[in-house]
Amino acid sequence: MNIKIINKSAHDLPHYETNASAGMDLRANLTEPIVLQPMGRAIIPTGLFIELPVGVEAQVRPRSGLAAKKGVTVLNAPGTVDADYRGEVGVILINLGSEDFIVENGERIAQLVIAKHERAEWNPVDSLSETARGEGGFGSTGVK
């Protein structure tokens, strides 16, 4: 799928690191480092502007290494970039770790996954079909 992109950053376009990768890494596009204190959050610019086809979204997801090693993740994961959005792709990072985290220019901060989606039409009814699970949720199926 071809996607229009404007790259106003000093970095290469996002790309897949391996043949089977679902996501492309997004890089911070900064003029100076940003310090995220524990529980601190910030919108990190990428310098990227995209035009997606209707029926496609871009999902901004955390990088597992940052989350596991530093406690840094995407706050609204997954963040959604809609097909009609034309602004800069930003990444809302939060530091859930116990030490300051410094976001440097060019650092890989998140993943971008391109995905097709459906649009729903509501069908109001008075009842839903019964299932074995029923209304059980929020851990009702157990943990082991």
Q: Please give the class, per CATH, of domain 4-116.
A: mainly beta
Q: Are 91 and 60 in contact (CB under 8 A)?
A: yes
Q: What pLDDT digit, counting tens, does each position of 45-93 carry?
A: 999 999 999 999 999 999 999 999 999 999 999 999 999 999 999 999 9
Q: Which helix (H) or strand (E) holds 87?
A: none
Span 14-50, pLDDT tens digits: 999 999 999 999 999 999 999 999 999 999 999 999 9
Residue in the structure block whose two tokens are 């496609």 = 56
- Rounded to 5°, the CA angle 78-80-83 comes to 155
Give the per-residue SS3 of 38-58.
CCCEEEEEEEEEEECCCCEEE
Domain boundaries, the chain: 4-116
Q: With 0.85 as the threshold, say if the pTM is over it.
A: yes
Query: Taking CA 64 as the corner, what is the angle to CA 14 and CA 7, rounded to the nearest 5 degrees?
Result: 15
User: Positive or negative CA dihedral for 133, 139, 140, 144?
Assistant: positive
How many Cβ atoms are within 10 Å of 63's Cβ, its own excluded?
Answer: 20
**Residue 17 in contact with residue 65, Cβ under 8 Å?**
no
**Length of the chain, in residues:** 144
Average pLDDT over residues 111-133: 95
Q: For residues 10 and 105, is the Cβ–Cβ distance under 8 A? A: yes
